[in-house]
Each structure stands twice: as C-alpha cells, then as structure tokens.
Structure 1
Amino acid sequence: MPITWVKERVRKIAMRRVMRGQDSALPDITTLRKVPDHLTYPLRRNGLDLLPEVADVRTQEPVTLLGSVLGLDLFLVTGYHESRAVLADRSSYSNDMRHLLGTRQRSDAEGIGGLGMTDPPDHTRLRGLLTPEFTMRRLKRLEGLIDGIVEDALDGMEAAGPVVDLVQRFGFEIPFRVICDLLGMPEEVRDEFHGLGVARFDVSQGGVGVFGAATDSRTFLIETVKQQRSDPGEGLIGEIIRNKGHEYDDVELGGLADGVFLGGYETSASMLSMGAYVLMQRPDAYELLRSGTRAEVDGVIEELLRYLCPVQIAFPRFAKEDHDLYGKQVKKGSVVVVSLAAANRDPAHVPTPDQFSLENAETAHLAFGHGLHRCVGAELARMEMRAALTGLARRFPDLAMATEDVGELGFRDLSIVYSLDKLPVRLNADPALAAESA
C-alpha cells in the first residue's frame, strides 16, 4: 500500500475528528444546491456599490454572526483592521476545507488542493514552488511578452471597431494569453476555460455548480501535467517538472496549476474590464494613465484595486478551537469569512471609502488578501493592469461607452469574483457627435 495514500488517509481522519467530532455526520458542501438568501448579501452589489446591508453591519459590529449553513455557524468580518487580524492569524484558523466534502469516494479531480485551501506544511511546500517565479526580478522577463500581448489585443480591437465588447477583446483576452504562456498551455482551451472560470465563482447554484466546474478544469490540468511528465513544455509547468517534478505527484501539480490559472486570468479580467468602466467616467485618471509619471500611474492602479476589489471574500477560515473574536464567541469548526470588499471601504481606514478617489491611493488595501494566503501573483496582476490600461489610454484616448443602459453590462450576481459580462465601447470619438459640437 503506497505510503502517500496512508498518510493522506490518516490526515483526513484526524481532520474530521478535530473539525466535527469522531462520530458526527460530516456535511458535504458539494451537494448544496442553493445558498440561503440571508447569507448572500456580501456577494451582491448595486453596480459598483456595496449593498447598504454591508455598511450597516460594519457600522454596528465589524464581526457578525451571519447565520448557519450545513450546521456550521458562519461569521462575517467587515472591518479593515479586524479583517487583517483574521487573515494573519495562523494559529486560530485552518484553510483546509476537505472536511466539508462528505464521505463518498471521490476522484483526484474532485478533491480540494492548491494554495488557498491548504495549511502548512503542505501550503509551505507548494508555495515554495511558486514564490521564486513571482518575484519582481523573475517577472521582469515577462514585460516584453505582456507588452506584445497588449499590443496584439489593441490591434484586434482597432480592426474590429469602431464599437467592440471590451470584456471579450481586452479584459479576458490579455490575462488569458499571459497565463497560458506563463504556464505553457495551448490557447485552444480558451472558450472552454472562460466558461469554467466564470462558473467556478458563481454560487447561484450552490456548491453543486462551483465544484462541478472545478472538477472539470482540474481534470484538464491534471492531464496536462501527466502529458508534460514525458515532454515538459517551456512554461511554468514544464519547468517545475524538470527541476522538482519527482517530488510532487500529478494531482498536486495539477491543483497548483489550477490555482495559478484561475487566479491569473479571472480576477485580472475582472479588474481590466471594471477598471476601464471606471476610467471612462473619470477622464482625469484616464489621462494620467496616458501621460502621467510612473508614480501617478501606480496611484491609479492601486485605487482601482481598492475600490473595485473583484475578489469579494477571502478563502473561508475554519476555527481550530473555541475563541473570542472581537466580542463574538466562535466555536471550533465555525466558518469565518472576511469581506475584502467591505474592509477596503471601511471609513475607519479610508478617507473617501465609497468613491474612486486618487486621495485614497496611499491607503493600504486587501484586494490581494493578507498574510500567509496573500495572492502569490499580486505583482504579476499589477504588471498586467499597468501595461494594459496605459496601452488602452494611449491608443484610444477618446474611449467612451457605446450604451447608456447600464443593464446591458450584466453585472454578476452571487459571484465570489465580481465583474461584468459585457462592456460595449466606442474606441474613438463619434464623428456625428463631434460634428454637432463643432
């Protein structure tokens, strides 16, 4: 019997005993078909604005008992300083949620892995593979690649104009191609993975929809790793296999690639699409991207990250023991969820929290999380935003919305990663309008 299988079996049994009790029935989040309505307001917005309920809860108490799901208490953290404290607390919380997968036998692709849902020492071991690849020095080599992808996307937009959907041709196109090149994956998977990426964060169908999409994408990436075992590619997957592949199995590397792929394009796509939407309403900031200094450009990028914060909630934390959390009694096994979007708009931390304002640019934010599980690709995301949005501003200084109906944009409802699904824009000044104003 393989030693790795025995170790995994022992670990699962131990986790089940710790989190739920040895003889208790285990919940299975993958069978949850609907999230109770009273738990969903942290995942809803009105356009770019948070719902009033979020601000009301944060004002009354930065930590609140949101309700229960699958028999587990669910606490919501909305204050900035309280959120930082929870995200940094490695002793009170676990990120491992395998105890919520029930007891039925599952395939490798149905499991949970990667960085966001893993604790040390597994997390430390896996993150050690990625961290060297995402340092500023190593990312420097990608600048030419990113610039070339941005130019190609802008060329394609110009050829398809004068009116284009910025979500597809800009927001999705650029980060998808970057992450495919980074990992060493063929672009032929574009359409399939775009749909799966959206579904991975859509909780309208409960755990059934989320975990179904996760299984499909993870299956593909595990198979990709298996194929590259014999013929390593030029990307990150191939490099890891060549250098340390013997230390990790296909499921581990597939899960790691899944996290990089998903985090590398879906969140960046949201930021580029929503960022362009905001900038069309703020010509002063848009002009800074075109002609400002590097510091001014970075200020625009950081404020967009704080204000938009597409990742609405952090990976859930599970209490390892009974403890007090800012006046709330949290029992072992309870779920603690941090609202990154609410924390970034905490008036106790931000001068003008609910507005896009460059006066907020110096204020620290949690768009990439905090602590042990802070996004490993944060600097890559900043590079993409800087290159893509400055390129957009320089190529199309008169960019404008091609519709006045905000309802056409399709802002996502009940999605962990918030975004819009359509953004029709006019690339250059409308000749008819220019003639009228002349």
Structure 2
Amino acid sequence: MTVAIDRADPYEAYKRLREQAPVHRIEGPMGAEIWLVSRYEDARAALSDPRLSKHPRHAPQWVRDLGLVTESENPLGVNLLSTDPPDHTRLRRLVTSAFTRRRMEALRPRVQQITDALLDEMAGGTEADLLAALAFPLPVTVICELLGVPFADRHDFHRNTRASISPELTPEGLAAQREARRWMRDYMTGLVANARVRVDPTLPPDELPDLVSALVVAADERDGLSEDELVGMIQLLLVAGHETTVNLIGNGMLALLCHPDQLKLLRERPELVVPAIEELLRFDGPVERATPRYTVQDVEIAGVTIPANSMVSVVLAAADHDPAHAPQGDQLDITRATPSHLAFGHGLHFCLGAPLARLEGQIAIGTLVRRFPDLALAVSPEKLRWRDNGITSIIRGLEELPIRY
C-alpha cells in the first residue's frame, strides 16, 4: 500500500497504517528504506526488543553510504542513543549520577522565573509568535544554565541541532549535516576544556555548578566516560534538552487553541495541568518517530518479517493514537484517565530528561493559560507551517505559532 503522510495532520495516514499495514516498508530518495511500526503494543515491544539495536554498526548500507552514521557513531556522537548494553548501562549510570532528580526539582523556581519574565515581555503587545516568544527561549535558557553553556550561543547550536538530527536526503542537506556535526563537536570539545579548568573533583555531583562539570568528573572515574563519550553525551543533552521541549510547548498550545473547550477547562481548573501535559504529549507529542533502530537478525513483528540490517522506525505518534490502547485516541481530553504513552519512549532508552520536559511544559502552558485568558490563533490552522525533512525526520514541530492575546 502507498501512504501519503500529511505534515499538518499525519494521523489519518497513521490510522490507515494501524488498520491495514501495522508493519510497513516505505522507500525514499537516494536508496532510503525504512520499516514503520504503528500499533501501540507492537511499538512498545519493539522499543525494548534487544534484536533492534541502536548501534550504528548494524545500520543498513544505504545509511552509511549517505553518511547518516559512521561505523562508530550516530550524528550526535557516541551517547545513550547510539549504544546498547553493556556500554549503554554504564553510560546511563554515570549520566544519571549527574542528572539527579534533586537537581531537576531545584530548577522549578528558576523555570517559573524565566517563564514569568518571558510572559512579561509578551504582555507589552497583542500578537506574537509563541515559539519565538516562549517555547524556544524557555527550554534553551534552562538547558544552557543547566549545562553551563553561554546563552549567547543559543541560536548557533539550535540551527546546527536541526541540521544534525533531521537532514534532508539531498546532497545539499547531507553536506549541511556534516558541517553541523563538525561545528557541534568542536563546540562541545571547547565546553569540556573550559570545564576541566574550573571543576572541583572533590565535590559531590549535586554541588557542582553545572552538568558539564559533573560529567567531566564522571569521565575521570574508573570505568567512566571516554573523551568521545563525554563530548557525545553533552551534545545529546544540549540537543534533546531544548529541541523536544520547544515542540512540546508549541504542539501542546496549538492543540488547546484548536480545542477551545479543553483550553477553557484548563483555565477554570488549573490543577488539571499535570494530566493535561500527559494528554498533550500523547495527542500530538514532539517526537513523531523514535530514533532509528537496526535489526541484528531477521525480526518478526505482527506477522511481518523484517530482514537483518534494516532500519526500523517506531511511529510514536501512531502508537499513541491506537484505539486499542487509548479509546477515542484521536480526541483531546485533558481529563482522560491517561493510559501510559510512548512520547518519551520505553525501555532502556526511555528519555532521561522526561522530568525536566514535564516540569517546563507544566509551568509554561499552565502560566500562559492563566495570564492570557483570551489566547487565540492569529491565523487559520491550515496556514501553519510544519517542519518536514522527509523520510528520516523524527521531530514533529511547527515553524512558528502566531497568536493573539
């Protein structure tokens, strides 16, 4: 079957996939070939299946031919997303020692302070691009402070982030990805060098000034991080720490603006913000497809055999709308007794930054709805532009979100 996926509303196409071809091979330009998994139970099982590796050595030849990965690493370097156990277990343990719940919870007042300041700036006008005014500067400020990255560099790493993780499969797009990789690696190497000069290795992780310093200390432990792993891990945290949250806030607010009854309910019952964020993550989350996995052997899913050395893409957006798991999954209901969703993945590679993303989403959306009771879209929904980098794209997000208030 042929499936045309509309960027503005991919969910009708994903419904067809779930019903007619829950495991489906699609072809793209320049030899690309990806297997899509779209039903919830299949997706959840695939995300924790050890036969689906994250290591690029198992990638199909076309992926290496295009330079999307090398034998040793993915576009974001050697990190949690490009390793399997036992290396993944070691890396996650060390990063978790720096990325503590105590450190995340301590950010709450600062996240609120940044949000309030950004909304104060918005209050001087009547229209804004919500992505530029709030959804981008909030998480990027937080992750910059958390990692110890100069805020002045935010636009450079945001631009290179996009080129690194979702390249267009054209010679120009792949060349831009290679250049972005070089820039990101050089930038992160400089961050590490600066941190090494000032770090105090005698302090516990929670008392070090930022996560880069904590990871530098972890790198010097026995069985710690190699220099490549250290640079790759910081790169991953910087990219994932802002890119997905931008789209959590943007997609979530668009969903509420397109469902005024749900927006009104959240305004009247602000205590619903916690389940509301979970429902918004399920309904139109920031990651449309999980990062690629590669079959280490022939793998059968839902009666379909996927050959070894194939790329598998678990379609989180399709799985989270599966009515077998979330009844009436195409409807937004912030009072839903929310079933577990896959917006942050599942299994070994469950998103390490999920608590921070939830915290930022709850504060940003909850405060915005409270402070601006007459929020509305400034354009019709069909005029909004969605990011689209083709077959390899994993992120779901808007180019801009014009609002009136």
| Secondary structure class of the residue paired with 2:287 | coil
Partner SS, residue 228 of structure 2:
helix
Q: In the alignment, which residue of structure 2 is the partner of 1:419?
A: 397
User: What residue is the counterpart of 2:163 in the other structure?
Assistant: 199
Per the normalisation by structure 1, the TM-score is: 0.79
Q: Which residue of 1 aligns with 2:78?
A: 113
1:238 aligns with 2:197: no
* Distance in 1 of aligned mates of 2:238 and 2:149: 10
The residue type equivalent to 1:397 in the other structure is P
1:291: Cα distance to partner? Answer: 4.4
Q: Whole-Å Cα distance in 1 between the matches of residues 32 and 296 of structure 2?
A: 13
SS in 2 for 1:76: strand
Contact 2:40 2:319 in 1 (8 A): yes
Q: Per the alignment, do residues 360 and 199 of structure 1 end up closer, same or farther by CA in structure 2, a change over 3 Å counting?
A: farther
Deviation at 1:211, TM superposition (A): 4.5
Q: Could you list the per-position Cα deviations for residues 26-73 of structure 1 after superposition, in whole angstroms to 9, with x for gaps in the alignment?
A: xxxxxxxxxxxx9995xx4342x2154332221013212334887786
Larger deviation, residues 375-384 vs 96-105: 96-105
After the TM superposition, which of the residue ranges 203-212 and 216-225 deviates more from structure 2?
203-212
Q: Which residue of 2 aligns with 1:144?
A: 109
Structure-to-structure mapping, 1:308-347, within 5 angstroms = 308-347=284-323
Counterparts of 1:389 and 1:269, CA distance in 2: 12
**For residue 123 of structure 1, what is the amino acid of its counterpart?**
H
Q: Aligned pair 1:269/2:246, yes or no?
A: yes
Instruction: Report 1:31-430 matches (<5 A).
Output: 41=4, 44-47=5-8, 49-50=9-10, 52-67=12-27, 74-90=34-50, 92-98=51-57, 100-101=63-64, 112-159=77-124, 161-206=125-170, 208=174, 209-232=176-199, 234-245=209-220, 247-292=224-269, 294=271, 296-358=272-334, 360-404=336-380, 406-407=382-383, 409-414=384-389, 415-427=393-405
* Partners of 1:108 and 1:251 within 8 A in 2: no
Cα displacement string for residues 145-176 of structure 1 (whole angstroms, at most 9, x for unaligned residues): 111111111112123x1211111011101000
Counterpart contact for 2:270–2:366, Cα < 8 Å:
no
Q: How many residues align?
A: 383
- State the partner residue of 1:4: none
- What one-letter code is carried by the residue in structure 2 that aligns with 1:177? T
User: 2:196 is aligned with what amino acid?
Assistant: R
Query: What is the percentage of aligned positions where both structures have the same residue?
Result: 36
Aligned partners of 1:79, 1:387: CA distance in 2, in Å? 32
Preserved contact between residue 73 and residue 82 of structure 2 (Cα < 8 Å): no
Post-superposition offset of 1:356 = 1.5
CA RMSD across the alignment: 2.9
Q: Equivalent residue of 1:358, what SS?
A: coil
Whichever residue aligns with residue 216 of structure 2, its letter is I
Q: Which runs of 5+ in 2 are unaligned?
A: 200-207
Give 1:127 shift.
Answer: 1.0
Partner of 1:20: none
Q: Is the 8 A contact 1:351 1:359 kept in 2?
A: no
Q: Could you report, residue by residue, the CA deviation over 1:91-135 in whole angstroms, capped at 9, with x for unpaired residues?
A: x12101145546999999977321111112221111112224445
Query: By how many angstroms is 1:412 displaced?
Result: 1.4
Offset, 1:215:
3.3
Contact kept in structure 2, 1:226 and 1:250, CA below 8 Å: no
Q: C-alpha separation between the residues in 2 aligned to 1:266 and 1:40?
A: 27
CA contact (8 A) 1:45 1:413 kept: no
What TM-score does the superposition give when structure 2 sets the normalisation length? 0.85
* Residues 59 and 171 of structure 1: CA distance in aligned 2, closer, same or farther (over 3 Å): same
Give the greater-gyration-radius structure (CA).
1
Q: CA deviation at 1:404?
A: 3.3
> Structure 1 residues 105, 56: closer, same or farther in 2, change over 3 A?
closer
Residues 109, 375 of structure 1: alpha-carbon distance in 2 compared, 3 angstrom cutoff: closer
| Amino acid in structure 2 at the alignment position of 1:307 | F
Give the letter aligned to residue 148 of structure 2.
G
Deviates most, 206-215 or 313-322: 206-215
Kindly indicate whether the alpha-carbon contact (under 8 Å) linking 1:302 and 1:361 is maintained by their aligned counterparts in 2: no
Q: Distance in 1 between matches of 2:317 and 2:72?
A: 34
Amino acid at match of 1:179: I
Q: Which whole-Å deviations, capped at 9, do the CAs of 1:220-265 have from their partners, x for residues lacking one?
A: 1122112211123721001222354353233211110111111110
Higher deviation after alignment, 379-388 or 130-139: 130-139
